Amino acid sequence: MKKTHIDIIDPIHDFVRVYDSELKIIDTPIFQRLRRIRQLSSAHLIYPGAQHTRFEHSLGVMHIASMAGHALYEKGLISVDDIQNLRFAGLLHDIGHGPFSHIFEELLQKKRHSHEDIGKEIILKTKIGDLISKNGYDKRFITKMAFGDSKFQFLNEIISGALSADIMDYLLRDGHFTGAEHAKIDHNRLTFSLDVYKNKLALDKSALVNFETMMISRYQMFKAVYFHKTVRAGEVMLLESMNLAEEELELTSMNLDDYLKLSDEVILSKLLSLPEHNSKLKTAKKIATDYQNRNLFKPVFELALTGTTITKKRMRDIREELSKSSKVDINEIFVDSSNTSSIPLSPSKKESKSIILLEVDNNKTKAKEIQISNIQLVSVMSGFMKILRVYTPAKNRKKVEMAAKSILGDLK
Amino acid sequence: MKKTHIDIIDPIHDFVRVYDSELKIIDTPIFQRLRRIRQLSSAHLIYPGAQHTRFEHSLGVMHIASMAGHALYEKGLISVDDIQNLRFAGLLHDIGHGPFSHIFEELLQKKRHSHEDIGKEIILKTKIGDLISKNGYDKRFITKMAFGDSKFQFLNEIISGALSADIMDYLLRDGHFTGAEHAKIDHNRLTFSLDVYKNKLALDKSALVNFETMMISRYQMFKAVYFHKTVRAGEVMLLESMNLAEEELELTSMNLDDYLKLSDEVILSKLLSLPEHNSKLKTAKKIATDYQNRNLFKPVFELALTGTTITKKRMRDIREELSKSSKVDINEIFVDSSNTSSIPLSPSKKESKSIILLEVDNNKTKAKEIQISNIQLVSVMSGFMKILRVYTPAKNRKKVEMAAKSILGDLK
Amino acid sequence: MKKTHIDIIDPIHDFVRVYDSELKIIDTPIFQRLRRIRQLSSAHLIYPGAQHTRFEHSLGVMHIASMAGHALYEKGLISVDDIQNLRFAGLLHDIGHGPFSHIFEELLQKKRHSHEDIGKEIILKTKIGDLISKNGYDKRFITKMAFGDSKFQFLNEIISGALSADIMDYLLRDGHFTGAEHAKIDHNRLTFSLDVYKNKLALDKSALVNFETMMISRYQMFKAVYFHKTVRAGEVMLLESMNLAEEELELTSMNLDDYLKLSDEVILSKLLSLPEHNSKLKTAKKIATDYQNRNLFKPVFELALTGTTITKKRMRDIREELSKSSKVDINEIFVDSSNTSSIPLSPSKKESKSIILLEVDNNKTKAKEIQISNIQLVSVMSGFMKILRVYTPAKNRKKVEMAAKSILGDLK
Amino acid sequence: MKKTHIDIIDPIHDFVRVYDSELKIIDTPIFQRLRRIRQLSSAHLIYPGAQHTRFEHSLGVMHIASMAGHALYEKGLISVDDIQNLRFAGLLHDIGHGPFSHIFEELLQKKRHSHEDIGKEIILKTKIGDLISKNGYDKRFITKMAFGDSKFQFLNEIISGALSADIMDYLLRDGHFTGAEHAKIDHNRLTFSLDVYKNKLALDKSALVNFETMMISRYQMFKAVYFHKTVRAGEVMLLESMNLAEEELELTSMNLDDYLKLSDEVILSKLLSLPEHNSKLKTAKKIATDYQNRNLFKPVFELALTGTTITKKRMRDIREELSKSSKVDINEIFVDSSNTSSIPLSPSKKESKSIILLEVDNNKTKAKEIQISNIQLVSVMSGFMKILRVYTPAKNRKKVEMAAKSILGDLK
């Protein structure tokens, strides 16, 4: 029997086929909420086109995961049902995201909590899980797949990781909507070339060039958008304001129902209308107001941390030293680092650091596992993506700049 | 002296150069408000990518108006100052728009009011006008140009009309963000080919093919997006809900300060939390809730009005007849027509119905004014763009469909 | 067992997968010959980018035919082997084409011969057929499919006709290489939506809009490229020169081996170095030389034949009348018509004039056959594509123009 | 007075405006010859779309040079006449190119000759120079500009070098026609941002990111196309065959008139029909025949020469050693290196190794000259672009591979 479907027009994939069972999920208020969470929290301040949301991205990930699934199915590696499992997992991989996406994630982390945890709760305990079950699929298995916990690592890797539907969709989509990049990420070629080796996702060697191109594109998007100095200024402000308001708003400890009412605009209006009981709340409100008026923090110092990684502790120390040396209040000094979890490219623990290449030679398949960091250009670019930056409100610019130069000038 | 500028990256124009005097205007809260008014009020329900706003469009219109200005300047037809005037007029031509753009416009019309009136007030009476004056430009002249009232008709036409920066930008932009269309509108060629004849905007005959292509693209966007039956279902619902709530909310009679606080999301949340004093308000709230839950009105009948135009009065009569015949409450029957002012392509009174083509023959310039409706294909397509549609909530579908067929089946 | 393949990078399809059995065919000199036959014989004179050949197009048709095949296979309508049959048929559908593609076709027609006849001979009698047989496929069946003679009409229609891989590939490819058009022909959507009804190819109704868009694109390409007045000037010259040289060169009566040595450049150099025994040959050589030097015939008159079709006989009569009236030698007057077989869009006898739309309603599939000419816009455009034109060398321009105006001014 | 012009449609630039004085040059047989010299001599064997020629590229370089000229003119740095000079120089910078472009260049070098020398001769001594003079421009100055010899270095640099119209056009064009790359090279932004500092071409610092993107694109094109191992196999074969046939054909010592009759196809047919007087000619003919039949040399060894440069002498030595060790005839072993002049990206002596960035700070312009090799990523990529490769006919594959591994395995 043919499954009923609709086709949703999408600027990245021309059209995304959505089957009836998926449409029912998409039409729940829980999923529709993703329409109110921008994919790139503050990027639209710099790239006005960047108004796209987690909603479209989720459809896109389902679409690419489905392509990847078909490729493995045609090679006899998975069943038709697993294609559908991959579709559900792709559709729902971001369902737990809070407002301002990765920014909220950093708040959650302090509670040893993550959007993945919330996502699991949503799939398992709300109507969404019921809709999956009613269609005869296993919501527990899909949840595991969506968040990297299934025992089939290669299925997890189709959802997230260096070769995932997630990265392919967001690079293409963020490039299209910002206008910053038009690099050709050949997701057709890449998904066609996927394979499995010892339970891990592998790539046909002939598509290595396409993988490299994608890594280059990631680097360019990192520089132009994800870690753009003004984009991050906005994000650092949102983070700071939410942090300061946390006791009052209890954003990270609310129950699921309340959580699901949050959106970018809702939180922003909460921050803009904070009571001014204490200095923390005053500052939080002030920062949000400055954000709204585009009166953004200024970057006063930047350092490439080639090689080195910098700990949270070290970042706090630097902040203190800068405050002492510059005589600027510590609450007006912000140290940002590109390996914070509030940027989309931060290396998650589970992200694979290697990639397996398969090559057919004399009808024998040879596998070779290479460290991503050993692909020459990729390794170089990764180095360039470790950056430390110092921000401060405009009025302190000179003082903090001087302090940073004297203290951090030789951090390397 | 060089003017300071920044370049804003834009997916349509690669980058939009913004001079300091313009940036000051853009950075006012009045202008930033446009970021919260979607270009296509309900289209994102069908085309998830259509999240773009009047903000980006306004930058784009400034950009194209500037290109048109340069073309005329190089032909010795206008001064450098007029390029700047065009830039300001392009930037501000939509500054008066209310939430849900053209939908709100229809509300305003009942008060014999328009976004143009509000736009004039904003430019002349707020900080925006001051910023223009401070830079040595004439805010009165710019206001006239922005809204079609200057005595130089060709300058007005660069801002709005069949060859305007407005139409070029919105077709390109709406196509890019919806994903519905990728027709090549060659705005480079079109603006390069602009000329002036007897105070009117003219086009070099060699670019007629590009004009025709643009008209085809407009037709395709009309069918696929602007008058798409589900997109319009959402818009008809918004319109109806706002109409019913007007006495309570006084959206169209508020003072300018309050008006400038409105946005798509703000109005929607007002409608969703209406008090339920009377049946009108109850219905208004119900419709808004259905809209939010994507429980949209159903189109039950459609008629091509080739040639004919249908009056507001006739539309009201049809509504009554349908109610009587179907025995469905008149408040649950909605007659929509493609020449309502709530769709972007509705013919404004001032829109030029002809286009002047210039041809150089033996070093003599010959002008020929042709009716747009006489360009064969365009005329045909215009006919196809006159459509009458009937909507009703799902439960009445059958009854209203039958009534419509019997009453309207022979309207032609 | 996996089939060995290579991926050929292609600007239209990103990459075209080519299996080993196909590669062996592609690597024969007979197939490589297609690299030396431009897709659009004279268009590169006007659109310098139009250097693409039948070679790339043939790969593209194989690719789209394969997509269409997969769509039917997934709906349970054909076997895996038929996908491969479609691939071979798509790859070889143009294998018989002579130099200057459609121009040569017109020469052949005089001998009641066609590129299809030659194509059949090539597949059945050369190494190409052997390569097919060796792989276990039926060269006779593939030949039938490639040239519209198989008893499965829907398979024939995937290769040529209004919904074919052929038209999709050439519109996309010609647009890309000329730069004339970027209309989005959604061949993914169209091929996905193919179906079969009573042995004919059908389309899911939801893709009707994509079919209409393709027809619009065809109209725009017709006007901008295929029947562009200067492009046709070049083609009319080639045709005339080859016609005059036919007795000497015997281009259309050579044996297959000699035929397979012909290419655009080879024929052009033959024409440029014709002996000048008689006035016919002198003229042929003169025209070829003028072509080479871009000293092209001038269009002096053009007439839209809305509705009417004009016979070959009538065209010859017009030529005579024009000669008499203008006192210009009949060999210097050329009457061109858009329904000559030397343009790519000429209606072949076998081209389907209707299209079948399928709609699922309450789980019942309803089919509706509509005349393509009844799709409103398409019908209008078809009318605009019937054109008669008169050409002459520059020196006779005035005389022939006047004669044409007086004789043909009222042909309608 | 307005200058008469036509607009040529071009897939890269939408349209290229061509003024009457330029059209006269373009319409000469000398210039039309460029239509018969492919931009990328053998790339079409791998990328079938790569049929584009020096003709389109020359128009494109004129177009971008003109944009660069306008940018400098608007900054008051050059006169209107210099824009026209730049246009002529851009149009003619490749006029001396021989068939197979850079391949022929390597032949010429042995005679201490270059396409630039021939280009100069063509502009100064043929009708082309006359056409320039007749329009009141100085053919001597234009010649200097076209080939890097004018005393205004920044004008030379607009034609060739790291920021030139040449590189921008060929990267965009080669990417479009091969389909290998779609990186966004923002030539609008780059040319807008050009400036002059101390007689050298400079770039506004804000466009550094666009320069970096272009360098990345160059790297990707180098790997995917220019130095692709199979593309180069074809080119090495052409070079070898022409070298062996040089005494017979005297390709590099013919007079200008004969030279101007050469084209890719003409030379190939000369090579295919060489007499077989001696073993050299026999081999030349054999190689050409193998090339024609796509029976290409096989790459058996590849070495990244990070840092090192390898001399012609060293390459000859390696060839000898490989022959001795493998016992394969030296004429069947070919050592290729990426810094040969037969690939488009070889560093010419005159290519600027540094780039000057201008930054405006407090209304003061600061200039900073940076080595291109000091732009981190660019430097890394340059390293990856130094490659040595060994080719041999298929039959010797194993022997030569083993010899190469033992001899060159430790060259680094």
Q: What are the chain D neighbours of B187 within 8 Å (beta carbons)? A: none
Q: What span, in angstroms and rounded, lies between the C-alpha atoms of B66 and B84? A: 8
Q: What are the chain B neighbours of D80 within 8 Å (beta carbons)? A: none
> In a mutagenesis test of the B interface, which of A6, A9, A55, A94 is the best target, namely the one with the most B β-carbons within 10 Å?
A9
- Tell me how far CA of residue C217 lies from CA of B174, C54, C64, C178, C213, in angstroms: 19, 20, 18, 14, 6
Interchain contact A49–B (C-beta under 8 A): yes
Chain A contact partners (≥3 CB pairs within 8 A) = B, C, D
Interchain contact D290–C (C-beta under 8 A): no
Q: In b/e form, how buried is each residue of A320-333, taking b as 16+ CB within 10 angstroms?
A: ebbbeebebeeebb
Q: What span, in angstroms and rounded, lies between the C-alpha atoms of C100 and D332? A: 39
Kindly calculate the radius of gyration of chain D based on its CA atoms and give it in whole angstroms.
22
Q: What span, in angstroms and rounded, lies between the C-alpha atoms of C11 and D175? A: 9
Instruction: Find the CB nearest C186 among A14, A184, A186.
Output: A14
Per-residue pLDDT tens over the stretch C270-315: 999 999 999 999 999 999 999 988 899 999 999 887 666 778 888 8
Residue D186, min C-alpha distance to chain B (Å): 8
Q: What span, in angstroms and rounded, lies between the C-alpha atoms of D262 and C56? A: 26
Residue A31, min C-alpha distance to chain B (Å): 11
Q: How confident is the model at residue C14 (pLDDT cuts 50, 70, 90)?
A: confident
Instruction: Find the CB nearest A183 among D183, D223, D384.
Output: D183
Q: What span, in angstroms and rounded, lies between the C-alpha atoms of A106 and A98? A: 10
Interchain contact B44–A (C-beta under 8 A): yes
What is the mean predicted confidence (pLDDT) over D165-172? 96
Question: At residue A314, what is the residue type?
Answer: R
Size of interface A-C (CB pairs under 8 A): 26
Which residue, B195, B181, B172, is CA-closest to B69? B195
Per-residue pLDDT tens over the stretch D22-38: 999 999 999 999 999 99
Structure token pair of residue B84: 């700047």
Q: What span, in angstroms and rounded, lies between the C-alpha atoms of C145 and B40? A: 47
Q: What are the chain B neighbours of C216 within 8 Å (beta carbons)? A: 216, 220
Instruction: Find the CB nearest C189 among A15, A189, A360.
Output: A15
What is the mean predicted confidence (pLDDT) over A147-165? 94
Would strands A200-204 and A354-361 be described as parallel, antiparallel, or unpaired? parallel
Interchain contact C375–B (C-beta under 8 A): no
- Are D186 and B7 a contacting pair at CB < 8 A? no
Residue B401, min C-alpha distance to chain D (Å): 48
Instruction: Find the CB nearest A49 among B29, B46, B52.
Output: B52
Instruction: Find the CB nearest A265 among B56, B180, B265.
Output: B265
Interchain contact D188–B (C-beta under 8 A): yes
Would strands D354-361 and D200-204 be described as parallel, antiparallel, or unpaired? parallel
- Are A48 and B56 a contacting pair at CB < 8 A? yes
Which residue, B207, B123, B125, B113, is CA-closest to B168? B207
Search chain B and give the residue with CA nearest A56. B48
Residue D133, min C-alpha distance to chain B (Å): 24
Instruction: Find the CB nearest D56 among C35, C49, C180.
Output: C49
Q: Which of C:202-221 have CB within 8 Å of B? A: 209, 213, 216, 219-220
- Are A181 and D184 a contacting pair at CB < 8 A? yes
For residue C92, pLDDT over 50 is answered with yes
In chain A, what percentage of residues exceed pLDDT 90?
Answer: 65
Highest mean pLDDT among A98-107, A401-410, B102-111, D389-398: D389-398
Tell me the β-bridge partners of C334.
C391
For residue C13, pLDDT over 60 is answered with yes
Q: What are the chain B neighbours of A53 within 8 Å (beta carbons)? A: 48, 51
Residue A186, min C-alpha distance to chain C (Å): 8
Interchain contact B53–A (C-beta under 8 A): yes
Would strands C14-19 and C5-10 be described as parallel, antiparallel, or unpaired? antiparallel
For residue A71, pLDDT over 80 is answered with yes
Q: What span, in angstroms and rounded, lies between the C-alpha atoms of A99 and A33? A: 10
Q: What is the pLDDT, as a whole number, of residue A412? A: 46
Size of interface B-C (CB pairs under 8 A): 32
Where are the extended beta strands (E) located within B239-306? 298-304
pTM for the model stands at: 0.88
Q: Which of A125-134, A359-368, D155-164 has the lowest mean pLDDT?
A: A359-368
Interchain contact D375–A (C-beta under 8 A): no
Start-end of H helices in C135-228: 139-146, 153-159, 165-178, 187-192, 208-221
DSSP-assigned letters across all residues of D60-81: HHHHHHHHHHHHHHHTTSS-HH
Q: What span, in angstroms and rounded, lies between the C-alpha atoms of D233 and A140? A: 54
Q: What are the chain A neighbours of C210 within 8 Å (beta carbons)? A: none
Q: What is the mean pLDDT of chain D?
A: 89
Q: Which of A:168-187 have CB within 8 Å of C? A: 184, 186
What is the mean predicted confidence (pLDDT) over C376-384? 71
What is the mean predicted confidence (pLDDT) over A355-372? 80
Q: What span, in angstroms and rounded, lies between the C-alpha atoms of D216 and A386? A: 20
For residue A307, pLDDT over 70 is answered with no
How crowded is residue D23: how many other Cβ atoms within 10 Å of its Cβ?
14
Q: What is the pLDDT, as a whole number, of residue B382? A: 72
Per-residue pLDDT tens over the stretch A188-247: 989 999 999 999 999 998 888 889 888 888 888 988 899 999 999 999 999 999 999 999
Distance of CA B370 to the CA centre of its chain: 24
Tell me the β-bridge partners of B15.
B9
Output DSSP code: residue C283: H
Q: How confident is the model at residue C374 (pLDDT cuts 50, 70, 90)?
A: low
Q: What span, in angstroms and rounded, lies between the C-alpha atoms of A146 and A166? A: 11
Q: What span, in angstroms and rounded, lies between the C-alpha atoms of D300 and D393? A: 10
- Are C178 and D11 a contacting pair at CB < 8 A? yes
Instruction: Find the CB nearest B182 among C184, C216, C376.
Output: C184
Task: Specify the residue for token string 């309608």.
Answer: C412
Residue A71, min C-alpha distance to chain C (Å): 13
Q: What is the ipTM of this complex?
A: 0.85
Instruction: Find the CB nearest B56 among A14, A27, A49.
Output: A49
- On the 0-12 / 13-18 / 19+ scale of CB atoms within 10 A, A110 is exposed
- Are C27 and D53 a contacting pair at CB < 8 A? no
- Are C216 and B216 a contacting pair at CB < 8 A? yes
What is the mean predicted confidence (pLDDT) over D14-25? 94
Vertex C113 angle, CA C110 and C119, to 5° = 150
Structure token pair of residue B20: 């300091």
Q: What is the pLDDT, as a whole number, of residue B108? A: 84
Q: What are the chain A neighbours of D224 within 8 Å (beta carbons)? A: 209
Would strands C364-371 and C200-204 be described as parallel, antiparallel, or unpaired? unpaired
- Are A56 and B46 a contacting pair at CB < 8 A? no
Search chain C and give the residue with CA nearest B220. C213
Which residue, D58, D191, D209, D208, is CA-closest to D128? D58
Give chain A's largest Cα–Cα span: 75
- Tell me how far CA of residue D245 lies from CA of B49, B367, D271, D276, D281, in angstroms: 60, 62, 7, 10, 6
Q: What are the chain D neighbours of A380 within 8 Å (beta carbons)? A: 376-377, 380
Search chain B and give the residue with CA nearest C183. B183
Q: What span, in angstroms and rounded, lies between the C-alpha atoms of D338 and D231? A: 12
Interchain contact D405–C (C-beta under 8 A): no
Residue C70, min C-alpha distance to chain D (Å): 25
- Tell me how far CA of residue C40 lies from CA of A315, C49, C241, C245, D122, in angstroms: 64, 11, 18, 22, 31
For residue D268, pLDDT over 60 is answered with yes
What is the mean predicted confidence (pLDDT) over A378-397? 84
Q: What is the CATH number of domain C5-227+343-382?
A: 1.10.3210.10
- pLDDT by residue for chain B (412 residues), tens only, comes to 456 888 899 999 988 999 999 999 999 999 999 999 999 999 999 999 999 999 999 999 999 999 999 999 989 999 999 999 999 999 999 999 999 988 888 888 877 778 888 999 999 999 999 999 999 999 999 999 999 999 999 999 999 988 999 999 999 999 999 998 766 788 998 999 999 999 999 999 888 888 988 888 888 898 889 999 999 999 999 999 999 999 999 988 889 999 999 999 999 999 999 999 999 999 999 999 999 888 999 999 998 876 667 788 888 999 999 999 999 999 899 999 887 666 565 444 445 677 889 987 667 888 888 877 667 677 777 767 788 999 999 999 999 999 999 998 865 4
For residue A178, pLDDT over 70 is answered with yes
Q: What are the chain C neighbours of B216 within 8 Å (beta carbons)? A: 216, 220
E strand or H helix that includes residue A200: strand A200-204
Instruction: Find the CB nearest D8 among C8, C48, C293.
Output: C48
